[in-house]
Structure 1
Amino acid sequence: MKEIGIFGGTFDPPHYGHLLMANEVKAALSLDEIWFMPNSLPPHKQDEDHSSPAHRYEMLRLAISGEEGFKIEPIELERSGPSYTYDTIVLLKEKYPEHRFSFIIGADMIEYLPRWNRVEELLSLVRFIGVGRPGYSSEGEYGIAIVDVPQFDVSSTLIRQRLENGETTNFLLPEKITRYIKGKGLYGT
């Protein structure tokens, strides 16, 4: 049975914090693979502007290219409407019955977890792995396994703001993603 870590998010854009977290969780839990799962329309971010799913997929593809054990699972991009984790995990378990899934979330989502759609049922289908994040508590009511990773206080929001303001993003995200962003004129570049 393959042990798969699912790492969901908007990845708008993907950055070194995402890659560091995925690598640390994969190593700490001896997972076979990490599947990055970009979402189409996250229910908690419906009012925000995002780059298109196609751009986010391509940036993520660039970010993980050449990294063994890192893959993209586009299941949420292929569905219409809001992406609910419960529905996605049910589909993944049907599609890959020989895999066991863990769902990786940051501390910001641990605090938000009680408001997730069908969270009690979801907890019976998947193991949650929490990762600390500056400014958030990793304490929660669901007994989530916590993996300590080196803290790298970067966010996609910070990167988008810096790009829009013409500020540097060196050492925050891979150069090939910066080139893609500027080549496509994303985030006000």
Structure 2
Amino acid sequence: MSKIGIMGGTFDPVHTGHLIAAEAARDGCGLDEVWFIPTYQPPLKDNEPGASSKLRLQMVQEALGGNPAFKVLDIELERGGMSYSIDTVLELKRRYPDKAFSYIIGSDRINDLPKWHRIEELAELITFIGLEREGTAVKLDELPEFLRRRVTMADMPPIGISSTEIRSRVHAGRSIAYLVPDTVHQFIKGRGLYES
């Protein structure tokens, strides 16, 4: 059974930190592949994405280039509406019954796990790979036991990059070179994304 890591998020835009996190999880936990799944509308975020779902999907495709271990799926964008992880995992298990899935999440999301929709059911279906994010300590000991045993931590170099910061820099006319892959930089620039 092949091991697949799931990277969910708005990817608005996808940036170098996302790619480093995916590779850290793949390498650290022996994953065969990492699948990027852009959300249509995330449940735990108040703001709407700055770029359309179609453009966010295209940016992820640009960012992944020819890496055979990374791919992008549009199942949450196809479904539309609120993107709950449980719905995505149930669909993935239906489509790919021969694969074992793990969600790759940062320390902020690890601490939020008890708030996830139908988390007890989700935790029975998959595991979680935690990556410590700069400025947010992981509080595994504060998680319920059923979650604690489902989280594996992987080492990741500290990367202080966020999509919010990138959007803000573009809006202010500042450089985002090397914060995003060059193909994504050109994509954002060519379409005037996040400028207003």
TM-score, length-scaled by structure 2: 0.93
User: What corresponds to 1:116 in structure 2?
Assistant: 116
Alignment-derived partner of residue 87 in structure 2: 87
2:75 and 2:88 in contact (8 A); partners too: yes
Q: Which residue of 2 aligns with 1:128?
A: 128
Counterpart CA distance in 1 for 2:3 and 2:194 is 36
Q: Any idea what SS the aligned residue of 1:56 has?
A: helix
Q: What corresponds to 1:157 in structure 2?
A: 164
What CA deviation, in whole Å up to 9, does each residue of 1:42-61 have, x standing for no partner?
11224334210000000000
> 8 Å contact 1:138–1:146 — kept in the other structure?
no
1:13 is matched by which residue type in structure 2?
Answer: P
Give the root-mean-square deviation of aligned CA atoms: 1.1
User: Alpha-carbon deviation of 1:112?
Assistant: 1.4
* C-alpha spacing 1:64/1:49, structure 2 compared with 1 (3 Å): closer
Identity %: 44
Q: Give deviations 1:103-139, integer Å, cap 9, x for gaps.
A: 1111111121111100011000000111000111212
Query: Are 1:148 and 2:155 an aligned pair?
Result: yes
Which 5+ residue runs of structure 1 have no aligned equivalent? none
Q: For this pair of structures, how many residues does the alignment match?
A: 189
Superposed CA offset, 1:61-114 (max 9, x none): 000011121000111011021000011101110111000101111111112111
Alignment check: 8 A CA contact 2:2 2:99 kept: yes
1:13 paired with 2:13, answer yes
Greater Cα offset, 173-182 or 118-127:
173-182
Q: Which runs of 5+ in 2 are unaligned?
A: none
Contact preservation (8 Å) 2:12, 2:49: no
